[in-house]
Chain A
Amino acid sequence: MFKHYIFVIHSKAQAVLQMLTTKINKPYKKWLIAIFVLLLAGGAVIWWLFNLKYEDTADVKVDYTVNAIEFIKEFKKDMAAANKKYSEKIIVVNGTVSAIEAADTTANIKMIDSSSAYIIFAFQQQHLNEAKQLKPGDKVSIKGSCSNGAFSSILETEYITFKRCAVNK
């Protein structure tokens, strides 16, 4: 499909170029061709940027693999340093499911330590059912993008949020 579009764009571009250049003097031809090629390249880059999508997290390279309780400890010890190290990185977290907070369109998994500090994982759309099948007490390995850690003044505890998660298989 993509190749077909490229072929059609290429053919149309050639036709327009031919039409433009046949009636124009030679010294201007090279400049016109250069401008046309630049415009075409610019258009292709914009098209590519607009159509970028996140990959399935299950297929993305892992930056770190951690144990849930140790991971929370690291954030509690030095939040700024932990955020610098882990924010926006793909991390596999091994731990035990403490709670599942499910609604119509969500199923967040939580791993909580003894002081009520927690990690919460929001799942990628295609992996929502994996989260819904988990139960408190299940040993699980979850892969996702670590957003960051913060201190909640509502709950008076530290928490770490993850997005675009999948059960690591």
Chain B
Amino acid sequence: MKKTILSWVLVLATGLLFAQKKTTTSAIVSFDATTSLDKLPKADNKTVIAALDTKTGKLAFESTVKSFTFSNPKIQEHFNAPGWMDSEKFPTANFAGTITNLKDVKFNKDGVYKVTVKGDLTIHGVTKPVETTGTVTVNGTSIKTESNFSIKLEDYGVNGPAIGAGKVSKEPLITVTAEF
């Protein structure tokens, strides 16, 4: 009898654990590094892995660098080359952080909630702390997170010559969207 109760408790606990951790393998990360001289350096990756723990506010993203899709094959080639993202050496870019004002988000009530996210962003093998704002949209069982922020490429050791020439923005705009 005791064993049966224990089994049920374990099943319920596991169920709760899974219910609070939401994941998707189709989050989208876009970046726009266009300038007045060049409208080509922008791309998106639609196969990003994301996780959100609604209990703790932990938020994480994993993105394979080679999955960023450009319209121009030459730009894509440069993006992955050693002088830029060096995707052979640094195949993934990651973020791990936390929603700092989780108490303001009601996951059981439809609405758009403003959030602040703090965490570590790893690009090109360099990890830097970042803090940004975003929104969490609750619509029934669907939860959508969105954020826009800029990064300084030189902070991550990305210093291609086209940046100096003004063809690639020094501070591209990153947009992250995940629907759980």
Contacts and interface: CB of A to CB of B under 8 A. Distances in A.
Given A52-B73, A54-B71, A163-B67, A150 B92 contact: yes
Contact of B69 (A103, A153, A154, A164): A164
A17 interface: no
B64 A147 contact: yes
B46 A53 contact: no
B48 to A, nearest CB: 9
Contacts of A50: 40, 72
Interface centre among B26, B47, B66, B69 (most CB of A within 10 A): B47
Contacts of B100: none
A98 to B, nearest CB: 11
A122 B66 contact: no
Given A87-B66, A108-B46, A148-B64, A154 B26 contact: no
A117 to B, nearest CB: 12
B66 A147 contact: yes
Nearest to B40: A50
Interface size class of B (residues with CB under 8 A): 20 to 34
Interface residues of A, number: 29
Interface in A141-169: 147-148, 150, 152-155, 159, 161-164
A150 B46 contact: no
A113 interface: no
B116 to A, nearest CB: 22
A161 to B, nearest CB: 4
B67 A147 contact: yes
B23 A122 contact: no
Contacts of A110: 25
B46 A152 contact: no
Interface of B: 23-26, 28, 40, 46-47, 49-51, 60, 62, 64, 66-67, 69, 71-74, 87, 91-92, 179
Given A50-B72, A52-B74, A155-B23, 18 more contacts: A52-B73, A53-B73, A88-B66, A101-B26, A106-B28, A108-B26, A108-B46, A118-B25, A147-B67, A148-B64, A148-B67, A148-B87, A152-B49, A153-B62, A154-B23, A161-B64, A162-B47, A163-B67
Interface of A: 49-50, 52-54, 83, 87-88, 101, 103, 105-106, 108, 110, 118, 120, 122, 147-148, 150, 152-155, 159, 161-164
